[in-house]
Amino acid sequence: MKDTDVSQLGPQAAYEAYLADGRFMIQRAASTGEYMFWPKVTSPSGATDLEWVKAKGTGTVYAITVNRARSGAYNIALIELDEGVRMMSTLPAVETAEIGARVRARIEDAEEGPRVVFDLVGEDAA
């Protein structure tokens, strides 16, 4: 694991720098314990002592749609991470999934750069 230096970066650039180093990191406010996504300079309650922590990488499908374009279909999902925050992502290995299905994150090298995607796990993968 590389030691990513984000000390001079804003939250968006820091998130992307971690991702480029193969690390899925999210913010947590030290004083309140609030997790955050997407990365910002202040938490919803106003805490600014934000630190980067490794995301557990596990979560649940909160909502999902399948975009059916002429060039092909792909799903777009909102994933509720086990830390309690939500992010937009996709499940590249399946056409769609049940809401509530358990998922695990991995970093995929897409054309436009690395991105966090999810795969079904456990019984939901069957």
Partner 1 sequence: MSMESMRGKSAIVGMATAGIGEAPGFSAMELLGQAAVKAVADAGLKMQDIDGVFAATSSHAFPTMSVVEYLGLRPRFFDGTNVGGSSFEMHLLQATLALEAGLCDAALICYGSNQRTAGGRLVSMSEPQWHETPYKPRHPITAYGLATSRHMAEFGTTREDLAEVALAARGWANLNPEAFARGPLSKDEVMSARMISDPLTKSDCCLVTDGAAACVLVRADRAKDLPGKPVYFMGAGGANYHRSIVAMPDLTTTAAAESGPRAMEMAGVSQKDIDVVMLYDAFTINTILFLEDLGFCPKGEGGRFVQDGRIAPGGELAVNTNGGGLSCVHPGMYGLFLIAEAVAQIRGEAGERQKDDCTVALCHGNGGTLSSQCTAILGSEAAL
Q: State which residue, 25 or 89, has the beta carbon closest to partner 1.
A: 89
Nearest Cα to Cα of residue 39 among 25, 49, 59, 57: 25
Q: What are phi and psi of 12, to 5 degrees?
A: -65, -50
Which lies closer to partner 1 via its Cβ, residue 28 or residue 61?
61
* Shortest distance (Å) from residue 32 CB to partner 1: 18
* DSSP for residue 112: T
DSSP 54-79: E---EEEEEEEEEEEETTEEEEEEEE
Q: Cβ of residue 66: shortest distance to partner 1, in angstroms?
A: 4
Rounded Cα–Cα distance for residues 34 and 42 (Å): 11
Give the nearest distance from C-beta 78 to partner 1 in angstroms.
Answer: 6
**Which tokens is 93 given?**
């290995």
Query: Closest CB to partner 1 among 3 and 110?
Result: 110
Question: Nearest distance from residue 26's CB to partner 1, in Å?
Answer: 11
Contacting residues toward partner 1, per CB under 8 A: 12, 37-39, 62-69, 74, 76-78, 86-90, 96, 99-100, 110, 112-113, 115
